[in-house]
Amino acid sequence: MKKLTVTIITLNEEKNIKRCLDSVAPIADEIVVVDSLSSDSTEAICKGCDNLRFVQQKWLGYSEQKNYANDMATYDWVFSIDADEALSGKLLQSIAEWKKTDSCDNECFEMDRLTNYCGKWIKHCGWYPDTKIRIWNRKVGRWKGTIHEVIDFSKQMTTTKLSGDLLHYSYNSIEEHIRQADKFTSLTAQTAFLNGKRSGCILFLYIKVWWKFFHDYIIKLGILDGYYGYVVCKISSYATLFKYTKLYELNKKRDENTK
């Protein structure tokens, strides 16, 4: 049977981490938690679990923090999961069955992610299926990217989808979602600015914001998710506005300073 290390990065995750740890315990031969100096009870909760190694490391960025966690793994096969995620029963069974099979290091395994938003499972809005590669051999793949990080593989890979959902407990309130959208759009705008991109004209911005809402709410059937489906689609469209206006301001400031 293959050995599997589950890797998790944390920062003040006392509300989520036990649910995550309990869900992966049956399939984890080892759990590695890399914590960014939490000030809550995250460490105490983790150290109360068996077969878990708790390491503290100052924040390196999303990709590098996850790579650091994978480097700490004892086993080459890793399952990277976020602290606010957990396995459905079907996904747990799929992983347990996969561990009994033979796999080559050019194989990776993906799963659908289902998000819980303010207590409601969001099954449309472009949020589901939110398919993610989460299991692979760490010798052939490393995380890359400032935000919405992806795995960069050193060889051609074969991807297999596992049955079951990765359950994502995202936002407990609309205010939390808005704060996160503000944070992520700042990071995205900064990355685009450093890559020399511009926001375009006002008409372009208007069309982008309108299209984002129409795409998620109508085409991706966010309307079927009720009130919270509307909220999700509306905040997503505002996030498009935030991203491009922040990019515009960064370019405007640079242009003024170079005159």
Which pLDDT value is given to residue 244? 94
| 3-state secondary structure string across the chain | CCCCEEEEEECCCCCCHHHHHHHHCCCCCEEEEEECCCCCCHHHHHHCCCCEEEEECCCCCHHHHHHHHHHCCCCCEEEECCCCEEECHHHHHHHHHHHCCCCCCCEEEEEEEEEEECCEEECCCCCCCCCEEEEEEHHHEEEECCCCCEEEECCCCEEEEEEEEEEEEEECCHHHHHHHHHHHHHHHHHHHHHCCCCCCCHHHHHHHHHHHHHHHHHHCCHHHHHHHHHHHHHHHHHHHHHHHHHHHHHHHHHHHHCC
What pLDDT shows up at residue 257? 85
Domains of the chain are 5-171 (3.90.550.10), 174-257 (no CATH)
- Which residues are CB-contacts of 174 (< 8 A; sequence separation ≥ 6)? 118, 231, 235
Per-residue pLDDT at 218: 98
Residue 148 is predicted with a pLDDT of 81
Q: pLDDT tens string for the chain (259 positions)?
A: 899 999 999 999 999 999 999 999 999 999 999 999 999 999 999 999 999 999 999 999 999 999 999 999 999 999 999 999 999 999 999 999 999 998 899 999 999 999 999 999 999 999 999 999 999 999 999 999 887 899 999 999 999 999 999 999 999 999 999 999 999 999 999 989 998 998 888 888 899 999 999 999 999 999 999 999 999 999 999 999 999 999 999 999 988 888 7
Q: What is the pLDDT of residues 149-200, one digit of tens each?
A: 999 999 999 999 999 999 999 999 999 999 999 999 999 999 899 989 988 8
